Amino acid sequence: MVDPLNAWWAQQLVMCNWAFMPDPMMLPEEAARERLAALEIADRGELGWRLLELRGAVEVPASWLLTSLELAALAGAAGWLSHEQARQWGVDTCHSIHGRYADLDTWLEAVRTCRGAEDWMRGDDGLPEACQALSTLEAEGDGVTWALLGACLEKTSKAQLWPQQAEDQVWRLRAAFSPVMVTPACELDWAGSERWLSEVWQIHGRDDLIRAILWLTSQGDRQGWDIDAARLMTLSQEEQQTWLESLESQVVAYGRLLSQYVTQGEPLEWAAWDWLRAVDLAWAGCCSGWLTQQEGTMLATHAGDLVVRRYSDWSALARAYQRGRSLFEGQDRLPQLSMDWRLLMSSPSSPWRGNLGELLNADVVEAARHSIRQWRSSPRHWVLALASVRDPELSTRQGAEPVLSESRAKEARQYLIESLELYADEGAKALMRYWLPAQAHHLNQLAADAAHRALPPSRTPFGDPASADLVNRDSLGKATRHSATIHMAEKYAFYLQMAMDSQQFNERELIEMASSLRDVLCRFYSSPKQLLEAWATWDSLLPEPEQPTLTVEIRWHLEDPGSLFHWLDWASDTWNEPGERPSLSHFTALALVGPLNTPVWNLPQQESDREGASIRDWIDSHYGLHSSTELIDFVRFLLDVGDRQEYQINYAPYTLNPARLNSEIATLESGDCNEEERNHLSRLIRVRDNAESCNDVDMCAWDLAQAVDLAIAGRQLGWLARSDFLSVLERAYALASEHYSGWQDYAQGLYAGFSFFMGETPDREAFLASFRQAITAWLSAAPPLAGSWASLDFPGARPRHWAPLHIDTLPGDGRTLH
């Protein structure tokens, strides 16, 4: 049975030099494709644009409507569109024709008029004869008449020009580049898609493509622009000019345009530039066969999900894309906004008709969210997310791990050596030394105390800290709601990423460390928002010396819905930390070293032979110890009697007989002395003058600090087993509780011992001043990371600290650090 609508449509094609036929799609497939090629329509993408252009004017010329009928028929005959979809385009055009013209002759006259104006370039020699033939048929009532056409059109529903399946709606976003007419995609949709990916994007395969899409959705060009814009808004006109002058020549145009947008008050939003291009790449992947249709749809839907979250309507989306394109090209294209987007924004046939917020199906979006997290489910992506805040280029490595260049590996090795003194022969486990849970405990405790104004006094017997350090310390109360683990964990993650890049450590061990890092962070932070807020807060309070703060970068990740942080697999199956956590009592014992050495934030591990040689040299030069036996014996000596015994035996009696003391001093001063005698004379003088209250305070602290310091060195050398080392800590802890009531008393004993037993040196006063300054910092926590005394209860003392708001101790062990 002949379809009247198809028959009328076929009749009109006579005006395009077609033969009379009952169905417009009866043309042989090869002939239809040849005709499309002659019209320079190479694929379905170009076909979609042509059809959209032909229907996009406010007053569509009759000749455009006729061409629309021909293209729809050619697409159906060539197999580019199904017959049903081609018919939808044909029927929709018939609706437009019948609604605009009163009768057939009016329609034919309009076509002749338009073609007449175009005749010089089209050459439609047979048009008058074709129009006459159609007019005659209408007059005689043969064929499908105008009246019958109208009756048939009244019975048809609204034409569905674009794919209607729920999962296909996201492809309407790709109309920004070329409309998607049919799914699933194939080579017919985009001729030369592989070549385009290679030449324009330098994408040469499936993995490259996925990495590019994930980068666009999570970071893209917008991050750098957003950060530049945020900083420009804080600058004066002179400072903005200085910034512009600092740019490299190839980005000066970008800088000027960005500065112009900031000055003019243009909305500083352009994420559509990244997200629409991600949809385009996903479609290219489907067309090239590098992605399955399901994979491409899921990736595109993820980008669409971000679009719908950010933009309220199509016009906001188009303007944001135009801003992004302008910045990318360094040329303001906002004045051309209406012209560039006219078809999509105004055409009745546009795939962008309807509400943007209702574009995506909720079930499809949820499936895409699950899928995108699967793409980023490996622990490696946690390391990438954290490390990319410091090095944004790392974000391009999402998806399958890329093959790194040898130059990148060398760069990472150089970083590990120069910054961390970490060598390949130490093995991956050496990274444990950079996992500092005790430091996080210290900062958390300071924050809790600061919030309750319970920090140590700002004045100490050894001096006053700098006012700026006190302000910094007191401000830690702002972080009381945020666990400080991220403050050290993000640095650990960056080191871990450098170790991965160096390609000289065991890959399995590195992945295990990444997994442990994920487990810890998921346990301490319930969501990306909580982690990023904590990180931003601590970074602003404790910026790295002589380094720009990362707060702007961190807050960008907090606010951007596409950031990798929001799409990680946020779940912890087990508790398995990257490094060992000291118990609170062991950490307190480690703190007995005080400013005698750098702060110790974790239990020591055995070091490499290279580092061990340096430690052995130090032990030899300071103590004359050459073996584990000698070191263990000397540590026991320090704990049992130590230097304090020498004072008690050789110097304390002089305090009871000043006359004898003065006589001894005079005798030594009257003759030549060797080094030992000169040291003895110096100590006698200190007893006489009661220097640093050496006659009044217990100098056991001096022995305890040395004992713990040497035990740490012994553990690093492998001269002390773990159990023996912990025994030393526990013994030192007990002795401290017996001899002192608090950290200030301990500090006075330590300082007195440091002063009293110092050997002959012209720099004595400088050493004492430096040591007093260090003790002041340890007692006051100004600056906060100078030492740990201010956050710890002294051994045996009554607890005085406020409990942090976040408790992350190990289950069943209230003494274990969080």
Alpha helices in 690-763 (DSSP H): 700-717, 722-739, 743-756
pLDDT at 639: 97
pTM here is 0.91
Paired tokens of 545: 């010396």
Q: What secondary structure, in 3-state letters, does 10-35 show?
A: HHHHHHHCCCCCCCCCCCCHHHHHHH
Asked if pLDDT for residue 806 goes beyond 70, the answer is no
Asked if pLDDT for residue 264 goes beyond 90, the answer is yes
CB under 8 Å to 230, separation ≥6 — which residues? 552, 556
CA–CA dist 529, 535 (Å, integer): 10
Q: Is the distance from CB of 497 to CB of 387 less than 8 angstroms?
A: yes
Neighbouring C-beta atoms of residue 171, cutoff 10 Å: 27
Mean pLDDT, range 176-180, rounded to an integer: 95
Percent pLDDT > 70 in the chain is: 97
Asked if pLDDT for residue 817 goes beyond 50, the answer is no
- Residue 473: pLDDT band (50, 70, 90) is very high
Residue 816 — φ and ψ, nearest 5°? -80, 140
Paired tokens of 595: 């400013």
Q: How far is CA 92 from CA 97, 99, 160, 346, 681, in A?
A: 9, 11, 9, 17, 110
Mean pLDDT, range 683-707, rounded to an integer: 94
Model confidence pLDDT, tens digit, residues 395-416: 999 999 999 999 999 999 999 9
Mean pLDDT, range 279-299, rounded to an integer: 97
CA–CA dist 282, 275 (Å, integer): 11
pLDDT at 520: 93
Mean pLDDT of the chain: 93
CB-based burial, 419-446: b 16+ in 10 Å, e otherwise = ebebbbebebebbbbbbbbbbbbbbbbb
pLDDT at 168: 96
Asked if pLDDT for residue 44 goes beyond 50, the answer is yes
Q: 3-class DSSP state for residue 265? A: coil
Asked if pLDDT for residue 366 goes beyond 50, the answer is yes
Model confidence pLDDT, tens digit, residues 646-691: 999 999 999 889 999 998 888 888 878 888 888 888 899 999 999 9
Tokens 């947008």 correspond to what residue? Answer: 261
pLDDT at 810: 24
* DSSP category for residue 673: -
pLDDT at 125: 66
Paired tokens of 402: 């890329």
Secondary structure (DSSP) of 117-182: HHHHHH--TTHHHHHHHHHHHHHHT-SS-HHHHHHHHHTSPPP--S--SGGGGGGGGGGGTS---S
Mean pLDDT, range 608-613, rounded to an integer: 90
Residue ranges of domains in the chain: 4-154, 166-375, 379-567, 584-791
Model confidence pLDDT, tens digit, residues 506-547: 999 999 999 999 999 999 999 999 999 999 999 999 998 888
> Which of 377, 384, 379, 376 shows the shortest CA–CA distance to 511?
379
Tokens 């050398």 correspond to what residue? Answer: 717
Q: Is the distance from CB of 93 to CB of 65 less than 8 angstroms?
A: yes
Asked if pLDDT for residue 58 goes beyond 80, the answer is no
Mean pLDDT, range 54-68, rounded to an integer: 86
Q: Does 128 sit behind a cis peptide bond, omega within 30 degrees of 0 on the bond before it?
A: no
Tokens 């980005």 correspond to what residue? Answer: 251
CB under 8 Å to 565, separation ≥6 — which residues? 385, 528, 531, 532, 557, 558
Cα 20 vs. chain centroid, distance in angstroms? 64
pLDDT at 815: 38
pLDDT at 813: 34
- Residue 57: pLDDT band (50, 70, 90) is low
- Residue 814: pLDDT band (50, 70, 90) is very low
What is the widest separation between alpha-carbon atoms in the chain? 146
Paired tokens of 475: 């401000």
pLDDT at 380: 95
- 55-69, 262-276, 305-319: range with lowest mean pLDDT: 55-69
> Which of 402, 406, 365 shows the shortest CA–CA distance to 210?
402
> Which of 400, 420, 410, 438 shows the shortest CA–CA distance to 494?
420
CA–CA dist 818, 816 (Å, integer): 6
